[in-house]
Structure 1
Amino acid sequence: MKTPLVLVLAAALAASPVAAADGPPKASAAATLPAEATKRATVVTHDDTLAYVVRVEAVPLSNPKGEKQAEVVVTSYTLERTDPKDRPVTYLFNGGPGAASAYLQFGGVGPKRLPFGGPDNAPSDLPKLVDNPDTWLAFTDLVFVDPVGTGYSRASGDGKAFWSVEGDVESLSRVVAKHLAAREQLVSPVYLAGESYGGFRIPRIARKLQEKDGVGVAGLVALSPVLDFAIRDGENTSPLPWVTALPSLAAAARERKAPVTRADLADVESYAAGEFLADLMKGPRDAAAVGRVSARVAELTGLDPELVRRMNGRIDIRTFVREIGRPEGRVGSLYDANVTAYDPYPSAARASWDDPVLDGSMAPLTRAAVDYYGRELGFRVDNRRYELISSEVNRAWSWGRGQSLPESAGALREALAADRRLKVLVAHGATDLVTPYMESKLVLDQIPAFGDPDRVRLAVYPGGHMFYSRDASRAAFTADVRKLYGAAE
């Protein structure tokens, strides 16, 4: 029912001209990166004009023999008028696996941003960066990390050692610890933020830092994460994937008529976890249950009741985003269902299209990043390609062995239990179908209070996977993140 995030990205990459222009990069073709580059700049926020230093550099990773195994590029933004040792520092990661940090860096958190992800954006948009008045730089220094194989980061040899659930966490925790030591910020409060698979990463990185690197983490901010991949598995026998998707489907349908907040979805959440779940448990052989489910799902999603009935009330996300726009010959994005594009094959029996949000943002973001590093910062890399989303990393990723699908809810529990000061914010967009917010609600509701139930909070904003692409949602999210940092002081 639910296309796993890794497969969504892989499908988009296969069709993308940015990723397919001359084939995937060769991780073994290592080349030395330029020396670090720095620049002073300013950004105008809602309250102030901030002067800062931006620095891009490579953090080397070596084996026990001292042989370099990889170079991980990090881009840091440090406020000039404060002592870095007295200021929080936040390490930020995007997802994929195989995505560089440009989505967070130039999308909603860094001091410069590129508008993308909206209904009017297109691959041909010019990569013009503008001031981000909602930048987190107002309350924390920022370090954006490009894992091995993404951005300009590369392995010296075969990168597969880094392209697994465990290898990824091991390498990125070392990057954080090494960078903190090199910049003499080991006494600074440390925060981690991650989007999508990056949100899956950060509880595990926090636990690794606690256990092996002697670094405590003050707070975690997970944007549109998957905390437990098992929840979205087994739709042929498990009702959970259908239960967790329904509120987001209803949010998309309702938003087409009027703005929607999470409070507006309380009835759908209650139905999904109650009568809907109970009827799904009865199975397709119970005609009365199927009839009740089909009628209610058709009402909530706005889809043709006969179509919903043929599908026994179980609407997969690709069917939904195609059917809601079919009268206009358009298809929606899995990343934000109400961002649509023309269906290239509107009469085809099986849907085939590039995702309007993902495909529409890849070219502008890639151009913006290459221009920013090369022209603005003087960090020119001519011997390797900038990988916004690497198909090579994505295809080669090892998800582990054994019978259990990967999860980071356990690491989150352990990190919270180990440190009573740790605060967590999990943020989602209401109309995101790739990582529906109800999945995170299900996980977080099962975590003990550990003395204070307010230490872990779920926030839902208007918008999709990259909800911060909407101005009002970005401002509201930044305000909530600022409160988290204040609460941790």
Structure 2
Amino acid sequence: MMRFASIALAAALAVCASPLASAESQKHPEEQVVARGLPAEAVTSHIISLQGEQVAFTARAGAIRLRDAKSDAPQADVAYVSYERNGADAAARPVIFVFNGGPGAASAWLGLGALSPWRLRFPADAPSPSRAPVLADNAETWLAFADLVLIDPPGTGYSKLLSDSDDIEKRFFSVDGDAEALAVVMRKWLAARGRLLSPKYIVGESYGAFRAIKVLAPLRERENIGVEGLYLVSPALDFTWLQGGRNLLSYAGLLPSMTAVARGSNGRTELADAETYAAGDYVVDLLKGAKDGQALARMNQSVARFTLLDSHFVSRLGARIDAKSFSRERGRNKQRVSSAYDGGVEGYDPTPFAPVSDWSDPVLETWRTPLGAAMMRLTQEKLAWPIGEARYFILNERIARRWDFGHGGRENAEVVSDLRDALALDPRLRVFVVHGVADLVTPYFATKLMLDQLPAYGDADRVRLIVLKGGHMPYLHDESRAGMRDAARKLVEGQH
């Protein structure tokens, strides 16, 4: 009887819906796209207190539509949130464009974690997905010295594709297509706001730093936009240094961060011995190979001493310790695991007695929920953007799975060569690189070893490495968030 009633109801609904469906199918394709697209820009006015000064600013939440160059067919709406100080000289006021990484991560990580006028108030040492997303005024906002434009690439945040074409999705979800699309978005925003003369900077985190470097060429060559500075947070510069195994130097790049976690270090000052060993005797013994028993014995003893791991465990791995093995083994007796994103933060091991375990990262997976919720709350309550019931993709795993890194694949993707070319071409370009000392995903020392291979380009200080407390998202710690702001001010204001 229930089955029959369900079928009858479905048939009735189909009959009732058919005129609407017919009317929808008769709409012009552009009208259908408008119905699927994002709302018009919302503009709101706000005041924040910064070091005792009342700063008035305008917030804008909207989207930039990308179209096919030949057919003019709509392809995507790319969402942005901008914060612009009132009364500033538009030509002199710097503009900072902000991207996160993933691929598939939205800008709320950097926005509500570090840069924006509001941030998520959330204790770094007690993460929990169920904590309420409480927003607070951000005393460390970068609005103090620059206007901010936070951009969510297609498929992240509220941004969406407006075409069902697989070819369009494939293009946007690729290294080159992503960079070219975002270059257009930046140029369109600058033109619409009359900011083409403003000094321009790009901030990128993790893969967002990879993206920030990649976007320089299409900005320069296609959109006629030059950039004065890059601010790279926990950058993924060369994946051969991050994968392990193929590149022996990746173990050397990781060792100082593991040492920092083992010692509870908050910066580089206590890690000089680990850095010296990692770039010296460790590399020499690694190159001698697995057949050299004396080299193995030396490495086993030293790596166990620096990481505080059990010497038998270190020996079983041939003193080649990867981030996941370290994260589990250091707390195994307590049935706990460390975060790869911040080795100083621990969580419970869901299968503590299994020889191999998989777990949700205690930092990444506990922050994503309240950050996404906070961004939805910000959009509705402060930015007044009528987004309706749209979902905010703080992390879109589908993009990460489908991302096209090019012919060499993810394991061979790198932007060090792009950075090398950009620095050589533009002597005004400056680059600040910021890392958390306990980051096991993109270790600071691996970045240092890569940056050390760059020429001086007339002034070695054009590329600067800054190491702070914390991990992949150092801004989760109050002192590091302030340190990031101070470094960004120096970059923007040209201080040495």
TM-score computed with the length of structure 2 as normaliser: 0.89
Alignment correspondent of 1:60: 65
Alignment of 1:255-274 (within 5 A): 255=264, 259-274=265-280
Aligned partners of 1:117 and 1:466 also within 8 Å: no
Structure 2: how far apart are the matches of 1:117 and 1:359?
Answer: 15
Match of 2:29 in 1: none
Aligned match of 1:325 in 322, 331, 335? 331
Distance 1:381 1:450 in 2: 47
Are the counterparts in 1 of residues 242 and 441 from structure 2 also a CA contact under 8 Å?
Answer: no
CA separation of 1:153 and 1:488: change in aligned 2, threshold 3 A: farther
Does the C-alpha gap of structure 1 residues 191 and 488 become closer, same or farther in structure 2, counting only changes over 3 Å? farther
Counterpart-to-counterpart distance in 2, 1:419 and 1:30: 43
User: Could you tell me whether the CA contact under 8 Å between 1:279 and 1:293 is conserved in 2?
Assistant: yes
Deviation of 1:291 after TM superposition, in Å, equals 0.6
Gap runs ≥5 in structure 2? 1-32
Contact (CA 8 Å) 1:31, 1:383: kept in 2 or not? no
| From 192, 209, 218, the counterpart of 1:208 | 218
Give the AA of the match of 2:482: A
Give the greater-gyration-radius structure (CA). Answer: 2
Write the letter of the residue equivalent to 2:487: D
The one of 237, 243, 247 aligned to 1:238: 247
Counterpart position of 1:389:
395
- Per-residue deviation at 1:355? 0.4
Any runs of at least 4 consecutive aligned residues in structure 1 with deviations exceeding 6 A, and if so which?
Answer: none
Deviation at 1:290, TM superposition (A): 0.7
Match of 2:125 among 116, 119, 125: 119
Asked whether the 8 Å contact 2:91–2:198 carries over to 1, the reply is: yes
| Pairwise CA distance, 1:444 | 1.1
Q: Residues 272, 185 of structure 1: CA spacing in aligned structure 2 closer, same or farther, 3 A cutoff?
A: same
**Alpha-carbon contact 1:332-1:341 (below 8 Å) kept:** yes
370-379 or 423-432, which moves further after superposition?
370-379
Counterpart in the other structure of 2:80? 74
Q: Does 1:470 align with 2:480?
A: no
- Give the match's secondary structure for 2:489: helix
Query: Does structure 2 conserve the Cα–Cα contact (< 8 Å) formed by 1:92 and 1:101?
Result: yes
Structure 1: distance between partners of 2:334 and 2:348: 8
Give the aligned partner of residue 352 of structure 2. 346
Structure 2: how far apart are the matches of 1:128 and 1:154? 27
Partner residue in 1 for 2:89: 83
My pick for the range that moved more, 453-462 or 380-389, is 380-389
Amino acid at match of 2:315: R
Q: Give the C-alpha shift of residue 117 in structure 1.
A: 7.0
Tell me which residue corresponds to 1:455: 462
Q: Which structure would you say has the larger RCO, counting Cα contacts within 8 Å and 6 or more residues apart? A: 1
Match of 2:423 in 1: 416
C-alpha displacement of 1:314: 1.2
Q: Residues 30 and 154 of structure 1 are in contact (CA less than 8 Å); yes or no, is this contact kept in structure 2?
A: no
**Following TM superposition, by how much is the alpha carbon of 1:440 offset from its aligned partner in structure 2, in angstroms?**
1.3
Q: Does 1:193 align with 2:203?
A: yes
Amino acid at match of 1:464: G
Matched, 1:221 2:262: no
Change (3 A) 1:47 1:432: farther
The CA distance in 2 between the partners of 1:63 and 1:30, in whole Å, is: 19
- AA matched with 2:323: I
CA distance in 2, matches of 1:39, 1:237: 51
Counterpart AA for 1:99: A
1:367-395 Cα distance to aligned partner (Å, 9 max, x none): 11111112322213236421111122111
* Percent of matched pairs sharing the same residue: 44
Match of 1:100 in 2: 106
Q: CA RMSD in A?
A: 1.8
Matches within 5 A, 1:242-253: 242-253=251-262
Give the distance between the partners of 1:99 and 1:406, measured in 2 at CA.
18
CA distance in 2, matches of 1:380, 1:315: 49
Distance apart, 1:488 and its partner CA: 7.1
CA deviations over 1:105-132 (Å, ceiling 9, x no partner)? 1001111001347221200111111111
Kept in 1, the 8 Å contact 2:433–2:466? The answer is: yes
Does the 8 A contact of 1:190 with 1:218 survive in 2? yes
- Do 1:30 and 1:155's aligned partners in 2 also have CA atoms closer than 8 Å? no
Q: What amino acid does structure 2 have at the position aligned with 1:413?
A: R
Which digits, 9 at most, give the CA deviation of each residue in 1:111-167, with x for residues without a partner? 100134722120011111111111110000000000000011011124222000111
Distance 1:362 1:422 in 2: 33
Aligned residue among 476, 480, 488 for 2:487: 480
1 CA distance for matches of 2:418 and 2:191?
Answer: 24
Structure 1 residues not aligned, in runs of 5+: 1-27
Using the TM superposition, name which of 32-41 and 135-144 deviates more: 32-41
Provide the residue aligned with 2:361 in structure 1. 355
Cα deviation for residue 95 of structure 1 reads 0.3
Q: CA deviation at 1:254?
A: 0.9
Aligned to 2:5: none
Report the Cα distance in structure 1 between the residues aligned to 2:52 and 2:302, rounded to whole angstroms.
Answer: 47
Q: How does 1:151-190 map to 2 (within 5 A)?
A: 151-157=157-163, 158=165, 159-190=169-200
1:248 deviation in Å?
0.6
**The residue matched to 2:222 in structure 1 has which SS?**
helix
For the pair 1:128 / 2:134, whether they are aligned, the reply is yes
Q: Distance in 2 between matches of 1:426 and 1:328?
A: 35
> In 2, are the aligned partners of 1:36 and 1:57 still within 8 Å (CA)?
yes
Change (3 A) 1:315 1:402: closer
AA paired with 1:61?
L
Q: Identify if the C-alpha distance between structure 1 residues 47 and 438 changes in structure 2 by more than 3 Å, giving closer, same or farther.
A: farther
CA distance in 2, matches of 1:315, 1:278: 16
- Aligned residue in 1 for 2:382: 376
Q: Tell me, what secondary structure is at the counterpart of 2:91?
A: helix
What TM-score do the two structures reach when normalised by structure 1? 0.90
SS in 2 for 1:222: strand
Alignment partner for residue 50 of structure 2, among 19, 39, 45?
45
Alpha-carbon distance in structure 2 between the residues aligned to 1:473 and 1:273:
26
Distance 1:175 1:430, change over 3 A: same
| Structure 2 CA distance for aligned equivalents of residues 47 and 275 of structure 1 | 52
Structure 2: how far apart are the matches of 1:170 and 1:136?
A: 26
CA contact (8 A) 1:99 1:150 kept: yes
